[in-house]
A and B are shown apart, each in its own frame.
Chain A
Amino acid sequence: AQKVTQAQTEISVVEKEDVTLDCVYETRDTTYYLFWYKQPPSGELVFLIRRNSFDEQNEISGRYSWNFQKSTSSFNFTITASQVVDSAVYFCALSEAISGGYNKLIFGAGTRLAVHP
């Protein structure tokens, strides 16, 4: 069965520290997508990144970077020089193909990141 595991339930860091959020997935599909979403205290999930299973290049966007490794079925997220505004719950998700050509998202349990001044 498709599954996403975020083993870190909560992480607490001090501002300016680097922090890595782990995501491990299981899938039978050969083509799939992986995602990261951020959920700040306001509640709305904010889309951060999408990764195609055929593209293993790491990606950097400002202080955010993502490391996708098919060999270990991992899609880890690193925040460099963390800031208080990074405090949120972060979700990793995997697309699962379902009947009719559609797909749905399988979410991990989420990692709550607290960045203290």
Chain B
Amino acid sequence: DVKVTQSSRYLVKRTGEKVFLECVQDMDHENMFWYRQDPGLGLRLIYFSYDVKMKEKGDIPEGYSVSREKKERFSLILESASTNQTSMYLCASRGPKGVEQYFGPGTRLTVT
């Protein structure tokens, strides 16, 4: 079974702080994704990575950056957290021949 883990389930940060959200998958998947989930909007893609050190912007990349130094790890960075980044963040991975994505448990981030 694919296992995707995220470093925190709940996180509270202050406005202006730098925030790191970590995601690790154990299936040697090439593709990894970061989404945010907001009520009434479903999941929206922030960034994705199709290989180590490669990254592509998704639909809402503003205010975020990512890092993929190792195949199993994909980090989402909020350079200067703002209250409108309060949300549920979900990480996913996908193998080279797969189509479906496998998700982690999510991190609920609150920025005060």
State the A residues within 8 Å of B (CB): 4, 6, 9, 33, 35, 37, 42-47, 50, 91, 93, 95, 100, 102-105, 107-110
Contact = CB atoms under 8 A, between A and B. Distances in A.
A109 B42 contact: yes
Given A108-B42, A109-B41, 5 more contacts: A4-B42, A37-B103, A44-B105, A47-B100, A47-B103
B48 A100 contact: no
B100 A35 contact: yes
B96 to A, nearest CB: 11
B45 A104 contact: yes
Contacts of A33: 99-100
Contact of B42 (A100, A102, A104, A107): A107
B58 A44 contact: no
Interface residues of B, number: 25
Contacts, number: 54
Q: Taking chain B's interface residues, is the majority helix, strand, or loop, or is none over half, making it mixed?
A: strand
Contacts of A46: 103
Interface in B27-48: 31, 33, 40-45, 48
B1 to A, nearest CB: 11
A9 B42 CA distance: 11
Contacts of B104: 44
Contact of A50 (B33, B44, B100, B105): B100
B52 interface: no
